[in-house]
Structure 1
Amino acid sequence: MIVTEDQGALRIIRLARADKANALTAEMLAAIATAAETAAASGIQVLVLTGEGRVFSAGADLDAVANGLGQDPVWERASSAIADFPGLTIAALNGTLAGGAFGIALACDIRIAPPSANFFYPVMRLGHLPQPSDPGRLSALIGPSRARMILMAGARINAEEALTWGLIDRITTPGTLVETALELAEHALGARAGHVAAIKAMTR
């Protein structure tokens, strides 16, 4: 389940399946994509992606994977919609980020997480390929060798290591994640939409 909430020029996209560790289904990914695709036309200048519970997302829902979710183009649709949004995007990762859920977080401009978060993408062990855009985005953030440590060597890294590597940009306490995201979004929320889009384009 995905819950969206608009506050002026801010849209919060929340994974709301805490009882299943926010495991992603095709319907959830499509809802994320739609929320991002329609944002700019609705006057939204900042997207904040977060989740409920102690885990941001365990990745793909296993029952859905058995029915072909792993090869569904909806993964790329969701991450591309976030990456293509002309405003500021912030992943307020409320906990561990795993597997295919990496895609929607890597597509964001900024990532913050609590000290307890872990990060792993076990595609090698499971015999899967990562989503097409994920390796390039991961390598751009942390470098090819560290990307291979996660994707090929199965490295599981904690929040401190993720911060050192550049996978996340700030560690904050769990209860203040959204508040921290709003602080980071303050300037973008107060600017003209065209100005936000221009600066984002200059930093690609």
Structure 2
Amino acid sequence: MIDLQQDDGLWTVTLNNPTKANALTAEMLEELVSIVRAATDARALILTGAGRVFSAGADLDAARAGLATSTLWETLSGAIAGLPCLTVAALNGTLAGGANGMVLACDLRIAVPTAKFFYPVMKLGFLPQPSDPKRMAALIGPARTKLILMAGQKVSAQEAYEFGLVDRIVEPEDLLPTARELVSDCLTADTDVAAGIAELCR
């Protein structure tokens, strides 16, 4: 349910469980962690989803069994944030719940116009993973972070763009081409220079 395509240093990782809105199980998170940890020699990484939803977050059955508070989410986002290459989340649709962590950990985020963003942890009785509010607040400020995490608001793609949560809004047919264009310089750049710039931007 996780597809990986490698092409001349570009790693494209696709959540591929569209019949369940790409809801994530522990096994899927473990596979994602394994892929990201192996991507230390990648020149760029694109994270996307199949179908009309990027991810609904945790699979409901898995969440009830404890996945909602698993450290796997934090392990995954930390692994993505630690990559020396440029990472792009190409959001093919709505982003919900714990799946926010991996997207917040990416360097860039682009989304289709119909995407919505929400993270209803407080309503569900959970704390978010520790790094998620910090990364979100660094992008959009503490008040707007509370708007999502505490007021439980669903944010449209346009609002997300205006907030700074999303860097570009693109039509569905342009989503992956735009992501590939954004990483194109990294595919030919000196890897030490690219990694050095990434480190200076942290």
The TM-score, its normalising length taken from structure 2, stands at: 0.98
Give runs of ≥4 in structure 1 deviating > 2 Å: none
1:11 is aligned with what amino acid?
W
What is the identity, as a one-letter code, of the residue corresponding to 1:194? D
Match of 2:103 in 1: 105
| Corresponding residue of 1:80 | 78
Match of 1:166 among 144, 147, 164: 164
**Cα RMSD over matched residues?**
0.7
In the TM superposition, what is the alpha-carbon distance from 1:154 to its structure 2 partner?
A: 0.5
Offset from partner CA, 1:84-113 (integer Å, 9 cap, x none):
000000000000000100000000000000
Shift of 1:115: 0.4
Q: Deviations over 1:45-93 (max 9, x none)?
A: 1010000000000111000011111121111111111000000000000
Which SS does the other structure have where 2:110 is aligned? strand
Residue 35 (structure 1) aligns with: 35
Work out the CA distance in 2 between the residues paired with 1:15 and 1:176: 18
Alpha-carbon distance in structure 1 between the residues aligned to 2:145 and 2:84: 26
Partner of 2:177: helix, strand, or coil?
Answer: helix
Q: Distance in 2 between matches of 1:76 and 1:171?
A: 27
Q: Which residue of 2 aligns with 1:26?
A: 26
How far apart, CA to CA, are the structure 2 residues paired with 1:32 and 1:48?
12
| CA distance in structure 2 between the aligned counterparts of 1:28 and 1:50, rounded to whole angstroms | 14
Q: Is the 8 A contact 2:69 2:126 kept in 1?
A: no
Q: Equivalent residue of 1:38, what SS?
A: helix
Q: Distance in 2 between matches of 1:123 and 1:77?
A: 18
> What are structure 1's unaligned runs of at least 5 residues?
none
One-letter code of the match for 1:132? P
How many matched pairs? 202
